[in-house]
Amino acid sequence: MTIHSDLASAIGNTPLIRLHGPSEATGCEILGKCEFMNPGQSVKDRAALWIIRDAVERGLLEPGGTIVEGTAGNTGIGLALVGCSMGFKTVIVIPETQSQEKKDMIRLAGAELVQVPAVPYKNPNNYVRYSERLAKKLAETEDHGAIWANQFDNVANRQAHIDATGPEIWAQTEGKVDGFICAVGTGGTLAGVAAALQPKGVKIGLADPEGAALHSYYTTGEFASPGSSITEGIGQGRITRNLEGFTPDHSWRIPDSEALPVVFDLLENEGLCLGGSSGINVAGAMRLARELGPGHTIATVLCDYGTRYQSKLFNPAFLKEKGLPVPEWLDGESRILP
């Protein structure tokens, strides 16, 4: 037993657990890294901590300073909580389409929240571009200055997974891991774990949601992004700096109709309440398992906790509106409060 000196030191070292249904269905050991057990309930606490530490070490962030970021939500929650524990203010810019639960949590964590329309990167009001401009403005007006966290192109994000997530998986499996796969938001998790484990012979897979362009890029060299997904926090259309130098060994595009039943089964049968991106990841792990064949061990990340999406992913009316399958147990007497 140890006593952590602060919130930051309680980030990481998350459990790796066997996912029984997916393991039995494939004849492999499919393992999920419980990133929802971080203090901010997502994998992005790691990136938040590494980005803040890096900015402090490089003298860019002074006590009382402000951290500005554009995020689908989880990085904002991580930055707000870690920032608070270290004496920084946070301003978060989020596309208005993200779940209400994440927006509420960002405000609860003490950050100032700016909502912008969900528009493509080429539009100046895109959340990433808006946050960059806002950071520049606040750097001039705030007493203790401001920085732009820039999670997509700040490689301190990837470094969190090179230093910690990858080595943790290696140590937890005692080196007996054959494959790792996950989806990409910034690419920090996938490229970082790949940098740590690919040189050790671990096969790395990309699990792309529909509407993302990386599966197309890595298989044909062209960016094409057919379809769409209700998952949040993933789905990239360019090679971010965090992805530079990375190449997956395998790649799949995974539809929501395959990923969401995985989320529902894990909740119904294994007590694991997960967000949609974890469904893409575990469905991807099952594809990688089938590719490598029975007897292999595949790890993935369980990115965040399902209660963050109660009004969408676990809401029968929302699923039906999107034409997505609704499990019988969710559709019967409602588990959602009116």
C-beta of residue 152 within 8 angstroms of C-beta of residue 186? yes
- CB-wise, 29 or 232, nearer to ligand PMP? 232
Listed residue (35, 201, 243, 67) closest to 147, CA to CA? 67
Selecting among 33, 44, 89, 102, the annotated active-site residue is 44
Q: Which of 14, 26, 41, 74 binds ligand PMP (CB under 6 A)?
A: 74
Q: Is the dihedral of CA 68, 35, 232, 151 positive or negative?
A: positive
Number of residues that bind ligand PMP (CB under 6 A): 20
Q: Stretches 113-121, 129-137, 184-192, 247-255: which one binds ligand PMP (CB under 6 A)? A: 184-192
**CB of residue 92 to ligand PMP, shortest distance in Å:** 13
Beta strands in the chain (DSSP E): 16-18, 29-34, 66-70, 89-95, 112-116, 146-148, 179-182, 203-209, 250-254, 297-302
Note if 33 is an active site residue. no
Residue 38 in the binding site for ligand PMP (CB under 6 A): no
Q: What is the DSSP string of 228-269?
A: --S--S----S--GGGTT---SEEEEE-HHHHHHHHHHHHHH
Residue 189 in the binding site for ligand PMP (CB under 6 A): yes
Q: Which of 233, 235, 248, 284 binds ligand PMP (CB under 6 A)?
A: 233
Burial class of residue 76 in the structure, from the number of CB atoms within 10 Å of its CB (0-12 exposed, 13-18 middle, 19+ buried) = buried
- CB-wise, 142 or 153, nearer to ligand PMP? 153
**CB of residue 40 to ligand PMP, shortest distance in Å:** 10
Query: Can you give the binding site for ligand PMP, defined by CB under 6 A?
Result: 42-44, 72, 74, 183-190, 232-234, 275, 277, 303-304
